[in-house]
Amino acid sequence: MRIITGSARGTGLTAPEGETTRPTSDKVKEAVFSMIQFDVEGRNVLDLFAGSGQMALEALSRGAEKATLVDSSREAAACVEANAKKTHLSNRCRIVNNTYTSYLRAAAGREKYDLIFLDPPYGSGMLPKALRAIDAGELAAPGSTLVCETDCDVPSSATRLRTRMRKDEEYTAELVLKDVFGGDEELAARYEVLKSNLYGRTRITLLTPKTAEEAAEGSASEEPEAEGEAE
């Protein structure tokens, strides 16, 4: 695990020990930053489930202005601090050892982020909860990008199904609704899906917040038309 490019290019990073943290692979990380390469420089970054801190540190290395890295684990927070020092990026980091729910409540109405990384434990149900709190607290700046990482629970040998998942837009939309938004269509209406790509078992979905007017229009268009009264 290392910084891929930028001011800290090639710097090796460490991850917290144990199974509670699942670092994003270098291959997936490289794909993510290829997707958002024009949305990094000068940005205010939030890494909400920081783990080793590698996603926010990669963004800082590539020119992001500053980053807040949040993790509920003391071990993870200590690891983030060590990695920030190793990359010489500490002066642009704020490391918060707290739960994501507590942090989002405290930051609501006070902070605005341009780039948000969301990689909670797979199957935890934390992602839709975080998206609701980010929306309610107006923490995503207009035009911001939210990078969501989810697990695609399909065996690697299921080639035909995986091909369908890559190419079938309607099926992809169903998976994004289920895995990213927890099946909550009202929550999904608050965000625009910019892109959703599959890398092995990992799905990366890019979102941007809709304005209140856009969300209202989206919800209205999804409502079924009322049936006329029988004569």
Q: How far apart are CA 156 and CA 223, in angstroms?
A: 37
The structure's pTM equals 0.87
- Residue 1 domain-assigned (yes or no): no
- Residue 40 domain-assigned (yes or no): yes
Task: Note the pLDDT of residue 199.
Answer: 86
- Residue 94 domain-assigned (yes or no): yes
Task: Note the pLDDT of residue 159.
Answer: 55
Relative to beta strand 44-47, strand 140-151 is unpaired
- Residue 227 domain-assigned (yes or no): no
Burial class (CB in 10 A: 0-12, 13-18, 19+), 194: middle
Task: Note the pLDDT of residue 174.
Answer: 87
Task: Note the pLDDT of residue 228.
Answer: 42
Q: How far apart are CA 45 and CA 23, in angstroms?
A: 18
Task: Note the pLDDT of residue 216.
Answer: 73
Q: What is the DSSP letter of 6?
A: S
- Residue 225 domain-assigned (yes or no): no
- Residue 226 domain-assigned (yes or no): no
What is the extent of the structural domain holding 63?
26-216
- Residue 229 domain-assigned (yes or no): no
Task: Note the pLDDT of residue 225.
Answer: 46
- Residue 92 domain-assigned (yes or no): yes
Name the phi and psi angles at 223, rounded to 5: -75, 135
How many folded domains does the chain comprise?
Answer: 1
123 torsion bin: left (phi>0), alpha (psi -120 to 50), beta (else)? left
Mind listing the pLDDT tens digit of every residue in the chain (231 residues)? 899 999 999 999 998 875 455 677 888 999 999 999 999 999 999 999 999 999 999 999 999 999 999 999 999 999 999 999 999 999 999 999 999 999 999 999 999 999 999 999 888 889 999 999 999 999 999 999 999 999 876 555 555 555 555 556 777 888 899 999 999 999 999 999 999 998 888 899 999 999 877 777 765 555 544 444 433
Task: Note the pLDDT of residue 187.
Answer: 96
Longest dimension (CA), the chain: 76
Question: Residue 77 belongs to a domain with what CATH number?
Answer: 3.40.50.150
Written as six digits, the tokens of 39 are 């949305």
Tell me, rounded to whole angstroms, the distance of Cα 70 from its chain centroid.
Answer: 13
